[in-house]
Amino acid sequence: MNSKRFALLGGGLLAFFVMAGGLLLYLFGTQTYTVDGRVAGLKDGGQTLVVEHEEIPGYMPPMIMPLPVADSSMTAPLESGDAIQFRLAVADDSASIIALRELPDTAVARNPARTTTPIPSEGGSGTQMLQTGDRVPTDLTLTNQAGESLRLGDYRGQALILTFIYTRCPLPNYCPLMSKRFATLQPQLRERYGQDVQLLSISFDPAYDTPKVLREYASQYTSRLDTWTFATGDSTQTQRATELFGVFTKKEDSDEITHNLTTALIG
């Protein structure tokens, strides 16, 4: 099988963008929400709290979501299942838990986000997640914002930086932030490398993110689609892409999708 080599771009760098924003939220003006929920897990040494929360009126439906905390000492006494109330501060490009307290167990429903259904509902296809230095299958096929077929092999001879998004993502420090980062990066790459470096944003919400929707989304960030492509596909194609690059998604009862962030460099 024809292939290219790839290297995952610094997960630590992505984590920095997410977490450092939480420390600076109040300096630039924010909107804050008081949220009740339960602890679903802790990550990054307590710097990220996975919370199953109730509806945030006017902002987000009930869901399970990893959120950075401004101070990891807030999460030190917490255990999975604990009932909590927290203050979520949301700025243009970041969101962070800035205050937190434990609640009596009876104060919060046992499963405040109700039931969630993994994507795909029958579980993964068994595709092996790529590791740094692995060869990328060039037969991975998607559909671009113009409705045209796209294969990773089409980028032969170019460097490719890809990330994953969905256009309805409500958290400013997830998909919108990744698209803003690409929008900042694109002119710098064009000036230095011309078309030798390409950007690719792949949606993992193919049912909604049609080529037309992706064109409209793209217009918010760039007018130069010769070096930045937005892609979708059928559920099998997008599932293969997410599994290859270690993107974990979970469909909530609403239209929201809980997911992680992954950016990769192929060259």
Within this chain, do residues 52 and 126 fall inside the same structural domain, yes or no?
no
For helices 11-24 and 175-193, give the axis angle rounded to 10 degrees: 120
Average pLDDT, the chain: 80
Within this chain, do residues 187 and 84 fall inside the same structural domain, yes or no?
no
Answer yes or no: are the C-beta atoms of 112 and 54 closer than 8 Å: yes
Question: How many domains in the chain?
Answer: 2
* Residue spans of alpha helices (H) in the chain: 11-24, 175-193, 211-218, 235-244
CA distance 217 to 225: 12
Answer yes or no: are the C-beta atoms of 224 and 34 closer than 8 Å: no
Structural domain boundaries, residue 215:
3-13+117-266
Last residue of a domain, one of 80, 107, 134: 107
Within this chain, do residues 251 and 139 fall inside the same structural domain, yes or no?
yes
In CATH, what number is assigned to the domain containing residue 9? 3.40.30.10
First to last CA, the chain: 17
Rounded percentage of the chain residues whose pLDDT exceeds 90 = 46
Nearest to 167 by CA among 224, 221, 96: 221
Q: How confident is the model at residue 130 (pLDDT cuts 50, 70, 90)?
A: confident
Could you tell me the pTM of the whole model? 0.60
Average pLDDT over residues 188-193: 93
User: In this structure, is residue 64 part of a structural domain?
Assistant: yes
Within this chain, do residues 187 and 81 fall inside the same structural domain, yes or no?
no
